[in-house]
Structure 1
Amino acid sequence: MSVADDSPSRSRGRDETEEERADRMWGELIQEVRITQMGVQILFGFLLTVVFTSTYHALDDTDQTIYIVTVVLGATATGALIGPVALHRIVSGQRIKPQAVVWASRLTFVGLLLLLATMTCSLLLILRVATHNDYVPWLVGGVFAWYLLCWFVLPAWARRHHTGR
């Protein structure tokens, strides 16, 4: 392949086939998911234990509702973040890795959104129980904005600024 070659693999900045690119992207995605899975599973595990404490039964109805919503969000985040592993296992050898990478990437993105909601609700519940103060929504809103900035805004800015997409 010459330097002047304008093939699709050259325009991506790498000299790789579609399959090689899918293999590389799959490896990168699984590394990302592995880290996120651990965090969401630890958080979900802690959330599951709360209902078995005496403190849970002392919560008012609003806090119990926040807890239930948080547990459901944690369960769905866990499912979405484990989904790429199940997807890979089920479609492995079917010669659809490029498509599987796209599906797994979408599942991971949904998992991150659900993790964002789980962490925000967890923080809301903890701060409501710990402080009972009017500033709790402001604190939670500030942390939520920080998560958005770190997880979505900065990556979107970097993508747009450095790739033109």
Structure 2
Amino acid sequence: MSGPEQDEHQRLTRNVGELLQELRVAQNGVQVLFGFLLSVVFTDSYRKAGDFVHVTHLIVVLLTAASAGFLIAPAAWHRVLFRRGAREAIVDRASRFVIIGLILLAAAMAGTVLLIGYVVFGGVVGGVLGGAIGLLFGLLWFVWPTSFGRVDRQERPPR
């Protein structure tokens, strides 16, 4: 392979490698959060908690599990599909799944902060803390990076 075909192959190989490296970072967060959420159920405080805590906890566990599913799927796809020359499809679909997984992770983390804030300080403070963290993740992970993309395109000379 030489010329444009080699360049395309190298680009896809690099994209897959970068994607899998990004997933390693996100998966660690999901795994730690999931372990914490699973262990909470076995405490006396949890057993004594009310319905709001139990329902919120279950929703957060489901969000975390769904996030893990979306964030782990691209690694599984790579293992299953990489020998079939499907790198472009892996990168395209996996990129979408990573975004969905990160949205679910942000919601799960905001829900966890809501839950802890509710137990420690009450409903209003818990809601404010959870909402603030959700807003922070939305800004840091999605809004600001999108604005950087627009700036880069404006600064780049036309090809």
TM-score (ref. length: structure 1): 0.86
Equivalent-residue separation in structure 2 for 1:76 and 1:143 (angstroms): 19
Q: Which residue of 2 aligns with 1:153?
A: 143
Equivalent-residue separation in structure 2 for 1:40 and 1:143 (angstroms): 16
Q: Which residue of 1 aligns with 2:93?
A: 103
Per-residue deviation, residues 98-142 of structure 1 (Å, max 9, x unmatched): 111111111111110110110011010010001115333222222
Alignment of 1:1-165 (within 5 A): 17-132=7-122, 134-163=124-153
Equivalent-residue separation in structure 1 for 2:57 and 2:97 (angstroms): 24
Contact 2:23 2:98 in 1 (8 A): yes
Unaligned segments of structure 1, at least 5 residues: 1-8, 10-15
RMSD: 1.6
Equivalent-residue separation in structure 1 for 2:41 and 2:122 (angstroms): 20
Contact 1:19 1:98 in 2 (8 A): no
Q: Stretches of 4+ moved more than 2 A in 1?
A: 133-136
Q: Which residue of 1 aligns with 2:157?
A: none
Unaligned segments of structure 2, at least 5 residues: 155-159
Equivalent-residue separation in structure 2 for 1:69 and 1:133 (angstroms): 17
Equivalent-residue separation in structure 1 for 2:149 and 2:22 (angstroms): 17
Q: Secondary structure at the match of 1:49?
A: helix
State the identity %: 38
Equivalent-residue separation in structure 2 for 1:128 and 1:81 (angstroms): 28
Q: Secondary structure at the match of 1:93?
A: helix
Aligned length: 151
Q: Which has the higher helix share?
A: 2
Deviation at 1:17, TM superposition (A): 2.1
Per-residue deviation, residues 5-58 of structure 1 (Å, max 9, x unmatched): xxxx7xxxxxx6222111111111111110110111111011011111111111
